[in-house]
């Protein structure tokens, strides 16, 4: 599935001034497309250097609320690429983990989860302890229930004990279990492959550069009462 993420790319400097200059962009995006978008909102590395992302939406539901305005362009682009490379079952597992409430605070968390899906398994359609108990009783060779006992066997209690012992949980879509040790694989933008780093200031002509520097020199000192984004966007 080709997963796309749309967002409003906003000029952070003008936002600080109480103005809004933004454009809708769709991830994954190419570096040239990003340069064009940045130029259209006045983020050229001279007049303004920083952006924020707001108003996320996607053709894959259930995760855009996890993204923040301070997530970097490169991280959101990398996330869109990673999700597009997942199988349908992997995407279901990805959404199930988010539904459970783990690894969902920002784009970096989502990237790390997409790289660690082998540590989770989703069993679709299983949503009660009784169903879980019956499945294990029917297919687990370690337990044999005589036919004359099955009518009286407490499958719900059996399933509940199994769920508690293996640390599983019911989520929207099925029964989720974990396996192995979850390890952080994504540590920050430095881990993004070069081909997925798209934030790049537009290439200005000499005249455009002179006009930009003239504008910056002539403008009043900016209001620095609002905090800047945690990460600075530069030409990666």
Residue 78 and residue 192 in contact, taking contact as beta carbons nearer than 8 Å = yes
For 211, the token pair is 């006009």
Give the tens place of pLDDT for each residue, 127-136: 999 999 988 8
Strands 174-178 and 120-124: antiparallel
Residue 235 has pLDDT above 70, yes or no: no
Give the tens place of pLDDT for each residue, 204-222: 888 888 887 888 887 755 5
CA 22 – CA 45 distance, rounded (Å): 16
Is the full-model pTM beyond 0.85? no
Nearest CA-CA partner of 103 in 233, 93, 201: 93
Looking at the chain, the whole-number percentage of residues with pLDDT higher than 90 is 63
CA 98 – CA 1 distance, rounded (Å): 19
Q: Which residue has the higher pLDDT, 83 or 225?
A: 83
For 231, the token pair is 């990460």
Average the pLDDT over 18-27 and give the result.
95
Residue 147 has pLDDT above 90, yes or no: no
Residue 199 and residue 234 in contact, taking contact as beta carbons nearer than 8 Å = yes
Give the tens place of pLDDT for each residue, 170-190: 998 899 999 888 889 999 999
Q: Is the torsion defined by CA of 76, 51, 9, 44 positive or negative?
A: negative
Residue 27 and residue 4 in contact, taking contact as beta carbons nearer than 8 Å = yes
204: Cβ contacts below 8 Å, ≥ 6 apart: 44, 46, 212
| Strand-pair partners of 9 | 23, 53
């Amino acid at each position: 599935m080709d997963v796309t993420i749309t967002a409003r790319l906003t000029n952070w400097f003008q936002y600080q001034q109480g103005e809004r200059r933004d454009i809708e962009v769709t991830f994954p995006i190419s570096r040239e497309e990003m340069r064009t978008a940045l130029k259209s909102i006045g983020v050229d590395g001279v007049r303004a250097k920083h952006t924020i992302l707001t108003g996320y939406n996607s053709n894959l539901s259930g995760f855009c609320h996890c993204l923040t305005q301070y997530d970097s362009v490169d991280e959101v682009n990398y996330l869109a690429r990673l999700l597009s490379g997942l199988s349908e079952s992997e995407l279901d597992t990805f959404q199930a983990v988010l539904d459970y409430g783990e690894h969902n605070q920002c784009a970096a968390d989502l990237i790390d989860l997409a790289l660690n899906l082998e540590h989770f398994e989703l069993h679709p359609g299983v949503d009660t302890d009784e169903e879980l108990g019956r499945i294990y009783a029917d297919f687990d060779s370690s337990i044999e229930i005589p036919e004359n006992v099955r009518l009286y066997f407490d499958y719900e209690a059996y399933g509940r004990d199994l769920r508690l012992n293996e640390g599983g949980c019911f989520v929207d879509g099925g029964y989720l279990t974990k396996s192995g040790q979850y390890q952080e694989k994504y540590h920050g933008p430095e881990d993004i492959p070069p081909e997925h780093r798209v934030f790049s200031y537009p290439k200005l002509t000499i005249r455009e550069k002179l006009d930009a520097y003239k504008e910056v020199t002539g403008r009043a000192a900016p209001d620095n009462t609002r905090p800047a984004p945690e990460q600075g966007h530069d030409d990666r």
